[in-house]
């Protein structure tokens, strides 16, 4: 449960809920609601569900046009409407991941729902994997166009990435530069790289001195090209990257942890990891090959970049 100091919320409780998902959308939503209520009953203020929790994860082991029917536009979206009512009733913040249809575009999207039930805005998954025979996400969803975002909620500033985003330190750093107090990653993953997966995100928490919450699916799901066993093991990492709560590999669970956001903010400032950044030296991050900068304008060669990043510099790449 959140704790305040002079009316300002300083301690926030977060939760990760893991669950198995079927083809029955109503059944999945009922399970999600039950887990959210459980998390709220344990005092959680922000509750994270797994990636695409409303459906079987058809993007693994399947390639069928019929699955586009599971996408909904934002307006009138029954998943968002239900979760908004629930957030308002319980007074909790919910990052809700869903399959979005926007005219003829389809995205893997999260809507941030504040504790009063208001919908604050969306983030669309930036990094879309593909890896036949088991992963066809690029078939169903386009690369996101929102950029990384942070929302100021009743219980702090939240940054949210989605699954494959969690492998990219640039995503976590961008959200923290934008002011995130907490990082959240709804996830659907199952293979033989669990330790690597967890360690990568622990690194994001440690490097940014920012707590991180990852919620994964559980259970075995099958499609035309095979089966995937989602390994669960949802976890919460503290600001040093240490694991403070972790779920099992195969059980429906809700795990929680509490963080003092003011204390962490002071620690982050004292360490200097944001104070001592040198953004003007990081131009290789704007390239694919370490040479050619891709910005909003045309690509630049190293020769064309000469003279950039020397005061006074007003170039967009800085």
Concerning whether 163 is annotated as a catalytic residue, the answer is yes
| Per-residue confidence (pLDDT) for residue 226, from 0 to 100 | 85
Among the residue ranges 76-80, 96-100, 102-106, 190-194, the one predicted with the least confidence is 190-194
Span 235-244, mean pLDDT? 98
- Listed by start position, the domains of the chain span 3-271, 279-318
- Indicate the pLDDT class of residue 296, thresholds 50, 70 and 90: low
| Per-residue confidence (pLDDT) for residue 58, from 0 to 100 | 86
**Has residue 312 got a pLDDT over 50?**
no
Tens digit of pLDDT for each residue in 161-208? 999 999 999 999 999 999 999 999 999 988 777 889 999 999 999 999
Which CATH superfamily does the domain covering 3-271 fall into?
Carbon-nitrogen hydrolase (3.60.110.10)
Average pLDDT over the chain reads: 91
Catalytic residue among 21, 135, 163, 176: 163
**Has residue 314 got a pLDDT over 70?**
no
Catalytic residue among 51, 137, 221, 253: 51
| Per-residue confidence (pLDDT) for residue 305, from 0 to 100 | 46
| Per-residue confidence (pLDDT) for residue 131, from 0 to 100 | 77
**Has residue 316 got a pLDDT over 50?**
no
Tens digit of pLDDT for each residue in 109-126? 999 999 999 999 999 999
Tens digit of pLDDT for each residue in 21-80? 999 999 999 999 999 999 999 999 999 999 999 999 988 888 889 999 999 999 999 999
Concerning whether 51 is annotated as a catalytic residue, the answer is yes
pTM value is 0.91
What 3 state SS string does the chain have? CCEEECCEEEEEEEEEEEEECCCCHHHHHHHHHHHHHHHHHCCCCEEECCCCCCCCCCCCCCCCHHHHHHCECCCCCHHHHHHHHHHHHHCCEEEEEEEEEECCEEEEEEEEECCCCCEEEEEECCCCCCCCCCCCHHHHCCCCCCCCCEEEECCEEEEECCHHHHHCHHHHHHHHHCCCCEEEEECCCCCCCHHHHHHHHHHHHHHHCCCEEEECEEEEEEECCEEEEEECCCEEECCCCCEEEECCCCCCEEEEEEEEHHHHHHHHHHHCCCCCCCHHHCHHHHECCCCCECCCCCCECHHHHCCCCCCCCCCCCC
Catalytic residue among 100, 125, 137, 149: 125
| Per-residue confidence (pLDDT) for residue 63, from 0 to 100 | 86
């Amino acid at each position: 449960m959140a704790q305040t100091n002079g009316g300002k919320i300083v301690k926030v409780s977060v939760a990760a809920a893991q669950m198995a998902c079927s083809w029955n959308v109503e059944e999945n939503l009922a399970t999600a609601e039950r887990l959210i209520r459980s998390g709220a009953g344990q005092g959680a203020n922000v509750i994270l569900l797994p990636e695409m929790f409303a459906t079987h994860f058809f993007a693994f082991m399947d390639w069928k046009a019929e699955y586009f029917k599971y996408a909904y536009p934002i307006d009138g979206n029954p998943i968002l409407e239900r979760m908004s009512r629930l957030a308002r009733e319980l007074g909790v913040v919910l990052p809700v991941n869903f399959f979005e249809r926007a005219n003829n575009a389809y995205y893997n999207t999260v809507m941030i729902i504040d504790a009063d039930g208001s919908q604050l805005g969306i983030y669309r998954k930036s990094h879309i994997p593909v890896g036949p025979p088991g992963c066809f996400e690029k078939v169903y969803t386009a690369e996101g166009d929102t950029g990384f975002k942070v929302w100021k909620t009743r219980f702090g500033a939240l940054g949210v990435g989605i699954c494959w985003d969690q492998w990219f330190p640039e995503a976590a750093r961008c959200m923290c530069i934008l002011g995130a107090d907490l990082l959240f990653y709804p996830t659907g993953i199952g293979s033989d790289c669990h330790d690597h997966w967890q360690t990568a995100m622990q690194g994001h928490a440690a490097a940014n001195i920012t707590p991180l919450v990852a919620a994964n699916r559980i259970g075995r799901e099958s499609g035309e090209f095979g089966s995937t066993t989602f390994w669960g093991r949802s976890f919460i990492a503290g600001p040093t990257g240490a694991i403070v709560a972790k779920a099992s590999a195969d059980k429906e669970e809700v795990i929680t942890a509490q963080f003092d956001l003011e204390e962490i903010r002071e620690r982050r400032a004292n360490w200097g990891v944001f104070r001592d950044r040198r953004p003007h030296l990081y131009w290789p991050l704007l390239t694919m090959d370490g040479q050619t900068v891709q910005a909003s304008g045309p690509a630049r060669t190293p020769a064309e970049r000469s003279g950039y990043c020397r005061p006074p510099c007003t170039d967009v790449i800085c």
